Chain A
């Protein structure tokens, strides 16, 4: 099932399928590790505000706007 990273449940490993943004955002996120095909995990999230995401062994906080632009695939457990 596909959804924005901002709606992904905590502590579930999900895979990035798309970053919906311009060149600048795609580049910035790829530098932080959010590449297509990469496995990531939301550590702490809520209905609004930033969320803490684990990617490539680092914990990165992302704002809500950016979280909604990263589309992930949730593999059923």
Chain B
């Protein structure tokens, strides 16, 4: 039987653990991320003949690698390349939550968005255009209410479907930035081992941002001199 790897991510307090428990039936194997004292939860779920290995990532506001949880979440998505990443978004607090979504799109993760706490959003009078949001972001969006298990079957369907389809969404920036991303990307692609492991476009964006972790990596690979000519 086919097995796919699914990572759950989201801001703190969006109901991530609840969705994890709903999907896995609460039969989680709890351990630690190697070398870090951050809990790692793993469980399984079988849906329509597909076995999903579900990994609960730490709750984070961003993927800048500023704290140990962020670094774990980011390394996991970049290096392990799970088949599907479920971004759990608090529908009652979209503005804050979509920042992480954007970073996941930059990472070229195969995203499915669970629009959780849909009932609370509705109670606040929010009317979310789910279809419009999905079209704008280029990824499937499934409204859920984890506390009463609403939307769980639809979420599983979307995960299985996404695993078959692969990544298609991409974030586009202003033309001059896109040009810079391309020029940096060309230099990075000379190091095949590097771009096999990390998406070149993502690395290029992080280099423009001056991301500490990525800059260290670039230095290790001896690419920094060539890049200086482009980024100054």
B64 touches A27 (CB 8 A): yes
- CB of A33 within 8 A of CB of B64, answer no
A56 touches B66 (CB 8 A): no
A49 vs chain B, min Cβ distance (A) = 20
Q: Cβ of B96 < 8 Å from any Cβ of A?
A: yes
In the bound complex, residues from chain B placing their C-beta under 8 Å from that of A58 are 11-13, 61, 93, 96
B101 on the A face (CB < 8 A): no
Per the bound structure, the CA–CA distance linking A28 and B90 in Å amounts to 21
Chain B interfacial residues counted at CB < 8 A: 14
B98 to chain A, nearest CB (A): 11
Complex Cα distance A77/B39, Å? 44
| Complex alpha-carbon distance, A56 and B99, angstroms | 12
Please classify the interface of chain B as helix (H, G, I), strand (E, B), loop, or mixed, using the class held by over half of its residues. loop
B66, B96, B99, B210: the one contacting A57 at CB < 8 Å is B96
Q: Closest B-chain residue to A59, C-beta based?
A: B13
- Interface of chain A: mostly helix, strand, loop or mixed: helix
Given the interface pairs A58-B11, A58-B12, the reply to whether A28 lies near B96 with Cβ below 8 Å is no
A-side interface size class: under 10
Instruction: Contact check, B64 vs A56: say whether CB atoms are below 8 A apart.
Output: no
User: A41 to chain B: closest CB distance in Å?
Assistant: 15
Can you list 24 A-B contacts (CB < 8 A)? A27-B64, A28-B64, A28-B66, A31-B61, A31-B62, A31-B64, A31-B66, A31-B99, A32-B61, A33-B61, A33-B96, A56-B93, A56-B95, A56-B96, A57-B90, A57-B92, A57-B93, A57-B96, A58-B11, A58-B12, A58-B13, A58-B61, A58-B93, A58-B96
